[in-house]
Amino acid sequence: MVPSGGRGNGSGRIGTVGVVGLGTMGAGIVEVFAKAGLSVVGVDGTPELAERGKGFLTTSTGKAVARGRLSEQDQKALLDRVTWTASVTDLADVDLVIEAIPERLEFKIDLFSKLDDIVRPDTILASNTSSLSLTTIAAATKHPERVIGMHFFNPAPVLALVEVISTLFTDTKLVREVRDLATRLGKKPVVVGDRAGFVANALLITYLARAIRLYETGSVSREDLDNAMRVGAGFPMGPLTLSDLIGLDVVKEVCDVLYEATKDPSAAPPALLQQMVTAGRLGRKTGQGFYDYGPDADESEQPASSGRALAVSTIGLLGTGEALAQLGETMEAGGLKVVHSVTASAALGEAQIVFVGTDAGCATGECAAGACECDQMGPAQEAISAGLSKIGKNAILAPMDGLAEWAIGTPDEHARVVVPVRLHEPTKGGQVLEIGTGLDSGAREVAAVRTAADRAGLVPVVGRARSGLVVDALLYPHLNDAVAMLDSGYASAQDIDTAMTAGCGYPEGPFTMIDRLGADQVTEGLAVMATTVGGAGPSPLLVEHAVRGRKFLD
Ligand code: CAA
């Protein structure tokens, strides 16, 4: 039990809060509490650091005033609710302390044992640790039952998630109290047990590590990689931009903890990440990470497809499929001439790029039109092969083949350059056309497809022609991890969805995404990737949903 003191039960009794550590997260947490009307004592190691914390809050609330989100009067009242100090002894009379100091276990243990002797016996001790074991921190205190995790997400004033983490020691009434407090702050609490990375970081940081590893291979430029996930998958930021925001040291620390706990190679810190941390390139906070943030910034990397593009004026569409038709419309709207043929037509002879639909078809090409009952629905290679001989010898063949199976497995017998592409559904940021590069695709041909995509207003993403290209190669394993987490009994599908939408700004959670895409599609993608490029196959629970045609959220 929490030792009884002046505060009593109920989050409404929490009126004064201490925040220790006034870096990005700590200062953001101060803002959250002060905005909700609570009194806050902000503490950092030196008067200068405390002053820096005050500066963060003044700047952040100043921006809100400038945007018309906060009146000057309310800003003043908010700032007046906070006192700044370099001494933890000033926390003697607070109801709750939140620690947001650097992620070093020995620092945290030291701080918590100091707090034990300073604060009232009924004061709650919370940690904002992103990955360290709360059980270990709690066990080192005199009253482990009052120790709890309150994990905020960067930027704390914007993102709604608070992971409330309990240990075997934690008083259950305290869990309710802290959950209610988070709600009172306008946040969305998700209550979970003490496990490496909790919900959001375990999923997010593993995905970031995979993305950094992909970037490390040189198969995609940093801008294209970020566009793939921001525009293609609809995430609020690309993985490299997000890593820079979080801080590469923090990403690495969480990788270390996840890998140590799970021995999952996907979570291991990529070599490039380790080197960047050693070199002090920690992202925004040091002015340099995957991107530069200093005054001389903005040197774009050469896109992977650099090279003089072949001129493109006519696009051919061969075969059938919704994506093919949609691509044709978009290209036409972009001012390109588009000729379409289900099987073969001499008109395709003038096209510089022929996009090949692979959705459906039979030798007559009439299946898709509903005029044939030959029952040969499936990949359209056969139907299309008849048409290939009619295509110009120098034309680029661009099969609409997201898994890049066709392009990898079937070299064009007429020795034309094959560049697999995948058109994604439009998202808030636009619509991605992924373009795969292989041994046979020359830089000029890839640049031509890229130029056509640009002209059509699509966002081109050029990456090596491997199963899943870039978007699905990162998205599907991420979704698979969420299913594995559900299967492990750690968190519910709803809580995992809430964690990723409220904590990482996803437009929809992983389970909503799987239900929309279809468990069968994700399963198939993962299975193909596992056999062609490696990685874990689909989780058994995902396969079960695919086979039964069941949704995760009903
Ligand atoms: N502090 C306060 N407010 C901020 C802010 C900050 N640092 N950054 C942005 N905002 C506010 C803006 O003022 C703006 O407010 P209004 O709508 O009231 O005007 C709003 O947020 C949107 O900002 P922008 O229009 O500038 O930009 P955006 O729409 O692209 O949103 C973003 C920016 C909120 C950062 C969004 O891109 C996002 O959610 N990204 C994902 C971030 C993420 O995944 N965070 C979790 C990281 S993991 C973590 O933190 C846990 C850990 O332990 C490592």
- Domain boundaries in the chain? 16-193, 200-286, 314-464
CATH of domain 200-286: 1.10.1040.10
Q: Is residue 233 classed exposed, middle or buried when 0-12, 13-18 and 19+ CB atoms within 10 A define those classes?
A: buried
What lines the ligand 1 site, CB under 6 Å? 60, 63, 67, 69, 130, 153-155, 157-159, 201, 204, 236-237, 242, 246, 250, 503-505
| DSSP conformational letter for 388 | H
Question: What pLDDT score was predicted for residue 13?
Answer: 84
CATH class entry, domain 314-464: alpha beta
Q: For residue 69, how far is its CA from the centre of ligand 1 (angstroms)?
A: 15
Spatial separation of the C-alpha atoms in residues 122 and 217, rounded to whole Å:
53
Instruction: Identify the residue whose C-alpha is closest to ligand 1 atom 53.
Output: 130
Q: What residues are annotated to the active site?
A: 130, 151, 163, 201
DSSP letters of 256-295?
HHHHHHH--GGGSPPHHHHHHHHTT--BGGGTBSSSB-ST
At position 41, the amino acid (one-letter code) is V
Spatial separation of the C-alpha atoms in residues 312 and 481, rounded to whole Å:
41
Of 150, 158, 208, 258, the one to substitute when testing ligand 1's pocket (max ligand atoms within 8 A of C-beta) is 158
Positions in the chain short of pLDDT 70: 1-11, 298-310, 343-345, 358-389, 402-415
Q: For residue 154, how far is its CA from the centre of ligand 1 (angstroms)?
A: 7
Question: What pLDDT score was predicted for residue 384?
Answer: 57
In what helix (H) or strand (E) does residue 485 lie, and over which residues does it extend?
helix 471-487
Instruction: Identify the residue whose C-alpha is closest to ligand 1 atom 6.
Output: 155
Q: For residue 64, how far is its CA from the centre of ligand 1 (angstroms)?
A: 13
Question: What pLDDT score was predicted for residue 441?
Answer: 76
Closest atom of ligand 1 relative to the 153 alpha carbon? 50
Question: What pLDDT score was predicted for residue 298?
Answer: 60
Question: What pLDDT score was predicted for residue 2?
Answer: 38
In what helix (H) or strand (E) does residue 76 lie, and over which residues does it extend?
helix 72-80
pLDDT 10s digits, 44-72: 999 999 999 999 999 999 999 999 999 99
Q: Specify the pTM.
A: 0.91
Domains 200-286 and 314-464 share a fold: no
Q: For residue 323, how far is its CA from the centre of ligand 1 (angstroms)?
A: 33
Instruction: Identify the residue whose C-alpha is closest to ligand 1 atom 20.
Output: 158
Spatial separation of the C-alpha atoms in residues 550 and 519, rounded to whole Å:
8
Closest atom of ligand 1 relative to the 63 alpha carbon? 13
| DSSP conformational letter for 470 | T
Question: What pLDDT score was predicted for residue 376?
Answer: 47
Question: What pLDDT score was predicted for residue 343?
Answer: 67
Q: For residue 507, how far is its CA from the centre of ligand 1 (angstroms)?
A: 13
Instruction: Identify the residue whose C-alpha is closest to ligand 1 atom 42.
Output: 504
Q: For residue 544, how far is its CA from the centre of ligand 1 (angstroms)?
A: 37
User: Which CATH number, 3.40.50.1010, 3.40.190.10, 3.90.1200.10, 3.40.50.720, labels domain 16-193?
Assistant: 3.40.50.720
In what helix (H) or strand (E) does residue 433 lie, and over which residues does it extend?
strand 432-437
Instruction: Identify the residue whose C-alpha is closest to ligand 1 atom 35.
Output: 155
Question: What pLDDT score was predicted for residue 379?
Answer: 43
